[in-house]
């Protein structure tokens, strides 16, 4: 796509990809079919997050035959949030849609999102009404995370997804958020602006399997909480005050028993107290260490991602 055409773009669709080369052709075909029916000047920004399969070859093939496609390949796997950032920073549209590449974010919803945007909404959020085929374990993990995040950070993200349309003004505001530890859903909620929610049912994946392991989800959850809330640090202070009160009461009881001549050997009590206090101290140090690690990563100032290649007509 020429520079002049990109400057005149009305809509940018950003899609981070990882191991999705097999079904990428179907994804691009379906999205293009929906967008071409709108008679809207658009671009598709496909970001390969260091996939070990043929995802980049599939992106290159799409770019050769479709002038709306722009492909980016990151130098390694930086994670979905970084790949999303790479695509957003390349977007030129007046409105920007973010979605996954497995068609679990239905392209058929884009026309409605665009209409809401034209009616004045600056952020149009697609909210999961039904999570589709998902294991009970995954549902429980999601509920625990969203409830914890709402309690600690104050943002209710239940049902939220990365499937959003944002106005150009929102994108420019997002670009000024310079942190390296990214959580797009939380960042979008923090920005505010006029918002509209659209419910949708999650369809089946176009192909492949989810690459989100329990470890990756845990890391994302820790990043989300520590990036948007200092509440865990305050909980350490509250826990310390609770232990001080408990030790004061126990100390007064011990002195009373000593003066009354009723003192008995308390090895079991001492051992239990040491274990409880030691565990609490280690937990507190772990929470503090997590925040220190976040500070360390931010202070280093390394780039969020590195683009190794890009392709477009």
Q: Give me the domains of the chain, ranges plus CATH numbers.
A: 3-229+302-312 (3.90.550.10)
Q: Which pLDDT tens digit goes with each residue over 107-154?
A: 888 888 888 888 888 888 888 776 656 666 666 766 676 677 666 666
pLDDT level of residue 1 (50, 70, 90 thresholds): very low
Rounded to the nearest 5 percent, the helix, strand and coil shares of the chain are: 50, 15, 30
If DSSP codes are grouped into helix, strand and coil, which group holds residue 287? Answer: helix
Look over the chain and give the mean of its residue pLDDT values, rounded to a whole number.
Answer: 76
Quick one: which of 196, 200, 201 has its CA closest to 166? Answer: 196
pLDDT level of residue 235 (50, 70, 90 thresholds): confident
Q: What is the pTM of this model?
A: 0.69
Higher pLDDT, 244 or 120: 120
DSSP state of 56: H
Q: Which residues in 183-200 are b (16+ Cβ under 10 Å) and which e? A: bbbbbbbbbeeebbebeb
């Amino acid at each position: 796509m020429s520079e002049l055409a990109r400057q005149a773009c009305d809509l940018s669709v950003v899609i981070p990809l990882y191991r999705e080369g097999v079904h990428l052709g179907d994804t691009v075909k379906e999205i293009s079919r929906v967008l071409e029916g709108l008679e809207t000047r658009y671009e598709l920004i496909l970001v390969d997050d260091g996939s070990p399969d043929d995802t980049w070859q599939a992106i290159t093939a799409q770019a050769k035959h479709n002038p709306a496609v722009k492909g980016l390949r990151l130098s390694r796997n930086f994670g979905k949030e970084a790949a999303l950032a790479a695509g957003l920073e390349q977007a030129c549209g007046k409105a920007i849609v973010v979605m996954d590449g497995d068609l679990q974010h239905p392209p058929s919803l884009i026309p409605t999102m665009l209409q809401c945007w034209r009616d004045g909404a600056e952020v149009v959020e697609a909210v999961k009404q039904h999570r589709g085929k998902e294991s009970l374990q995954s549902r429980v993990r999601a509920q625990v995370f969203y409830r914890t995040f709402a309690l600690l950070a104050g943002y209710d993200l239940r049902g939220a997804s990365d499937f959003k349309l944002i106005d150009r003004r929102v994108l420019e505001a997002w670009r000024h958020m310079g942190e390296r530890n990214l959580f797009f859903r939380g960042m979008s909620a923090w920005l505010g602006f006029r918002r509209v929610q659209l419910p949708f049912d999650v369809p089946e994946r176009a192909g492949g399997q989810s690459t989100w392991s329990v470890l990756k989800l845990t890391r994302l959850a820790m990043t989300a909480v520590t990036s948007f809330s200092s509440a865990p640090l305050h909980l350490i202070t509250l826990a310390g005050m609770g232990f001080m009160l408990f030790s004061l009461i126990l100390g007064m009881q011990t002195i009373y028993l000593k003066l009354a001549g009723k003192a008995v050997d308390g090895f079991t009590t001492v051992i239990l107290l040491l274990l409880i206090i030691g565990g609490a101290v280690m937990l507190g140090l772990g929470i503090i260490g997590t925040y220190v690690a976040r500070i360390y990563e931010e202070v280093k100032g390394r780039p969020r991602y590195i683009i190794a290649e890009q392709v477009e007509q």
